[in-house]
Amino acid sequence: MKLSIIVIGDEILIGQVTDTNSGFISRRLGPMGWETRRVLTIGDDADEICAAIRQCMADSDLVITTGGLGPTKDDITKSVMLGIFGGEMRRGEDVVVNIRNVFAIRGLKMNPLTEGQAMVPSSCRVIQNRLGTAPIMWFERDGKVLIAMPGVPFETEGMMTRAVESEISRHFTPDVKVAHRVLMVAGVTESALAQRLEDFENSLPAGLHLAYLPTPGLIRLRLDGISAGNCDIDEVLDSCYSRLCREVGDNVMFDGDATPAEIALHYARRRGLKIATAESCTGGNIAHRITEIAGCSDVYVGGVVSYANDVKVNLLGVNLADIENHGAVSREVVLAMAEGVARITGADCSVATSGVAGPGGGSDEKPVGTVWTAVHTPAGTEAFLRHYPGNRQRVIDRASTEALLELAKALKG
Amino acid sequence: MKLSIIVIGDEILIGQVTDTNSGFISRRLGPMGWETRRVLTIGDDADEICAAIRQCMADSDLVITTGGLGPTKDDITKSVMLGIFGGEMRRGEDVVVNIRNVFAIRGLKMNPLTEGQAMVPSSCRVIQNRLGTAPIMWFERDGKVLIAMPGVPFETEGMMTRAVESEISRHFTPDVKVAHRVLMVAGVTESALAQRLEDFENSLPAGLHLAYLPTPGLIRLRLDGISAGNCDIDEVLDSCYSRLCREVGDNVMFDGDATPAEIALHYARRRGLKIATAESCTGGNIAHRITEIAGCSDVYVGGVVSYANDVKVNLLGVNLADIENHGAVSREVVLAMAEGVARITGADCSVATSGVAGPGGGSDEKPVGTVWTAVHTPAGTEAFLRHYPGNRQRVIDRASTEALLELAKALKG
């Protein structure tokens, strides 16, 4: 079954806000047999919204719109729906009750603009939005369905999982099954890996497809399968996936889909070791990447963001002489940071970073992108020098990723 | 002039990767007079790519595609371009040289798959991609232009600013000017603000439009202007923007577009104060939000991620008795964390967080989403209790935002 998603909002079109709703919806509905054929992002313009809905309704079984339902003037989606699906605007008394409840939870009072949100086309069925004031609207025509969702990710995500997915399941009967397996690969380039896997790819049975998703330091291999009728797609996928793991061999970093932080936590947990972090140029990003993972507290104890040199010396016990002689971005300093943070936190292992994230602070000897990383484990402490291209954000991002992957490799053994 | 962006890639369509290229391109080309009319995301499917290009070429002056140009099998964009724009595949000797250079910089050798990337349709002009191996292709037809860019954000972003933007400027002469002003507003709901600004909005001159972009804790008001001919859009915008600031009054948080971290840094810098962070539930995210801003080191000295209680006690000097009597998520502990981190780092002010990010760890008394935040300034230390809805990521995100905004408010005075 085909799904199209229409993302409505000038703020997304001009690049001020990044759409994450469409990806969330695809990830949730894919395993239910829905193939997303397009995501169409348009502005808050009645003609564009109308044209987009007509285009998507023509070739998709289900169309989901997100955004364009707020209380303010720039939202015009509802009147476009009225134009397409007919009926008249009515005041939804159940919607009023829901809005009052949402406002009461937030400790706020309704005002006339919010009252306007209770007006809905009579041609739709309302799914109450327990997480916000914009009602979710379900329209039907010629056996096809259009669902209008709010634009706030928290509301869209929450209401998809709480109510909308089950309504979709009830209405449609899936005729195909879609599934995939993911393998994380490190230490090889995308093109060298593709060469090695050429025979494997050519021998894949019908309905199976291998996709390469390279990220810095890590290639995500995704084996997609789609089946109609009685074929057990999971069984076929499992068998091909085992063969894929053998072909990739030593370059397998992780069996499944995982972030570098999840991989590092996995290998530390398996060995019963505690982790700490000491960050200069990555400025807390490594700690953040670890702590955004639920359940990390059995492995991660904490760390220090030693941005100023005083903090490196006073908190982590780095020698001031080392900073003066070699600079803060040096093997000596980053080794002392890694060992220092393990000592003061009582952790068994640690990562430390010190580098020039830019745009300022570079020199001929240590240009922007120069990063020293140290990994400390019970087996010892090692330091690595890297030069990352790109802007500040990219240097921070890549240095964080590589520090976590180096730690994971050291712990994987 | 109208711009359409086509994002190609199964990985984006199924929601495994979030597209950021389209937003980047819109943000760069908007100020040059380009109005993005749609972003169309499709899979690696020849028919879909072909249909998307025809649709966008029909109603846009410029079409930019991103993705679908890698060396591996799932990339078929190039042959679709050949089908639409004609010509034959030829080996671009200049492209070979560029690929060799890119590989040499990375210390890698070319392989047959990468050689394939040097094949380009004879109907295009190549813009050398200095940051990767996939050539950027410029096609023209009936006065319209299609530019095929790679999918890797680093390459797309780097090559847009280095080469593609100036090629676009040279080829097109802008006939309209687009500009906007942004105001950050806090302490008022979107609908209450909209009510207050109703008269202001109704009195805006033609070509001006006010958009509300609510984010947790902060509403971004964007005043958009578009002008044809001789009208000085900047002058009109400035005048309306001043009036907008007066209408918003005390709720103005920042004049311009800025993140909570940028706003906090701004007010601390203005007063010559140093900032430190002590984070439990936000796990380094506040530090990361601060340190991703270039030039933060004149204000931010560093901090501690005190995830384990031992780290709170041993590094930050929190009383073990306070943790035992009140729990780690308590006013007493978060106040001690804020004061402790200022003391050990020598900072003048600080923020601290301790909460239950979930999904585990909640109790009847302190459910998931309970977060204590403390703000320390030379004027004293204050603590706030909040309950955030949503999942772990959202709790971390909102707690980080609110901690930075509370610090900014305390420093703004």
From the list B48, B345, B359, the residue facing A294 with the nearest CB is: B359
- Evaluated on CA atoms A281, A285, A289, A291, the torsion sign reads positive
Are residues A292 and B396 in contact, defined by beta-carbon separation less than 8 angstroms?
A: yes
The Cβ-side half-sphere exposure at A224, using a 13 Å CA radius, reads: 17
B277 to A284: CB separation less than 8 angstroms, yes or no = yes
- Strand boundaries in B55-175, DSSP class E: 62-66, 89-91, 119-121, 125-127, 136-141, 144-149
Place of tokens 């085992």: A242
Count of helices and strands (H, E) across chain B:
17, 17
Are residues A25 and A151 in contact, defined by beta-carbon separation less than 8 angstroms?
A: no
pLDDT, residue B74, reads 60
Residue B71: list chain A partners with CB under 8 A.
Answer: 190-191, 194
A277 to B18: CB separation less than 8 angstroms, yes or no = no
Q: How far apart are CA A38 and CA A48, in angstroms?
A: 16
What distance in Å separates residue B413's CA from the closest CA in chain A?
Answer: 26
Which chain B residue shows the shortest CA-CA distance from A59? B48
Place of tokens 């009936």: B142
Residue A358: list chain B partners with CB under 8 A.
Answer: 294
pLDDT, residue B174, reads 60
Q: How far apart are CA B113 and CA B71, in angstroms?
A: 6
What distance in Å separates residue B143's CA from the closest CA in chain A?
Answer: 24
DSSP 8-class letter at B252: E
pTM: 0.79
- The enclosing H or E element of A39 equals strand A35-42
Residue B189: list chain A partners with CB under 8 A.
Answer: 108
Count of helices and strands (H, E) across chain A:
17, 17
Q: How far apart are CA A79 and CA B269, in angstroms?
A: 48
Q: How far apart are CA A64 and CA B218, in angstroms?
A: 28
Could you tell me if A76 lies within 8 Å of chain B, comparing CB atoms? Answer: no
Chain B, residues 214-273, CB within 8 A of chain A, namely 214, 220, 222, 224
pLDDT, residue B323, reads 97
Q: How far apart are CA B321 and CA B327, in angstroms?
A: 9
From the list B71, B191, B344, the residue facing A114 with the nearest CB is: B191
Q: What is the DSSP string of B93-113?
A: HHHHHHHHHHHHHHT----HH
Are residues B353 and B403 in contact, defined by beta-carbon separation less than 8 angstroms?
A: yes
Q: How far apart are CA B201 and CA A101, in angstroms?
A: 29
Amino acid at B382: E
Q: What is the DSSP string of B253-284?
A: EEESS--HHHHHHHHHHHTT--EEEEESTTTT
Q: List phi, psi (to 5°) of B319.
A: -70, 130
Residue A38: list chain B partners with CB under 8 A.
Answer: 13, 40-42, 48, 52
Residues in chain B where the model's pLDDT stays below 50: none
Q: How far apart are CA B392 and CA B360, in angstroms?
A: 9
Residue B237: C-alpha distances to residues A72, A272, A391 (Å)? 21, 60, 31
Residue A217: C-alpha distances to residues A199, B9, B405 (Å)? 24, 20, 35
Interface test with B, best of A2, A36, A56, A72 (most B CBs within 10 A): A72
B18 to A20: CB separation less than 8 angstroms, yes or no = yes
Complex prediction ipTM: 0.78
Could you tell me if A305 lies within 8 Å of chain B, comparing CB atoms? Answer: yes
Chain A, residues 136-155, CB within 8 A of chain B, namely 152, 154
Place of tokens 């964007």: B222
Q: How far apart are CA B406 and CA B387, in angstroms?
A: 15
Q: How far apart are CA A84 and CA A93, in angstroms?
A: 23
Chain A, residues 370-389, CB within 8 A of chain B, namely 389
Q: Are strands A370-377 and A125-127 parallel, antiparallel or unpaired?
A: unpaired
Reported CATH class of domain B176-255: alpha beta
How many beta carbons lie within 10 A of that of residue B400, not counting itself?
30
pLDDT, residue A187, reads 87
pLDDT, residue A133, reads 84
A112 to B195: CB separation less than 8 angstroms, yes or no = yes
pLDDT, residue B366, reads 94
pLDDT, residue A259, reads 92
Residues in chain A where the model's pLDDT stays below 70: 73-75, 105-108, 173-176, 228-229
Residue B304: list chain A partners with CB under 8 A.
Answer: 302-305, 315
For the domain bounded by A2-171, which CATH number is listed? 3.40.980.10
Is it true that domain B260-412 has CATH number 3.90.950.20?
yes
B302 to A314: CB separation less than 8 angstroms, yes or no = no
CA-nearest of B303, B317, B307, B314 to B347 is B303
Q: Are strands A2-8 and A62-66 parallel, antiparallel or unpaired?
A: parallel
Cis peptide before B205 (omega within 30 of 0): no
How many beta carbons lie within 10 A of that of residue A196, not counting itself?
14
Q: How far apart are CA A262 and CA A123, in angstroms?
A: 47
Q: How far apart are CA B220 and CA B407, in angstroms?
A: 19
Please give the biggest Cα pair distance in chain A. Answer: 78
Residue ranges per structural domain of chain B: 2-171, 176-255, 260-412
Query: How is residue A50 written in tokens?
Result: 């109308």
DSSP 8-class letter at B332: H
Residue B366: C-alpha distances to residues A271, B281, B327, B370, B387 (Å)? 32, 13, 10, 6, 9
Q: How far apart are CA B259 and CA B291, in angstroms?
A: 12
- Residue A72, classed as helix, strand or coil, is coil
Are residues A268 and A299 in contact, defined by beta-carbon separation less than 8 angstroms?
A: yes
Q: How far apart are CA B409 and CA B413, in angstroms?
A: 6
Q: List phi, psi (to 5°) of A233.
A: -65, -35
The gap from C-alpha A401 to its chain's centroid, in whole angstroms, comes to: 15
B287 to A286: CB separation less than 8 angstroms, yes or no = no
Rg of chain A in Å (alpha carbons): 26
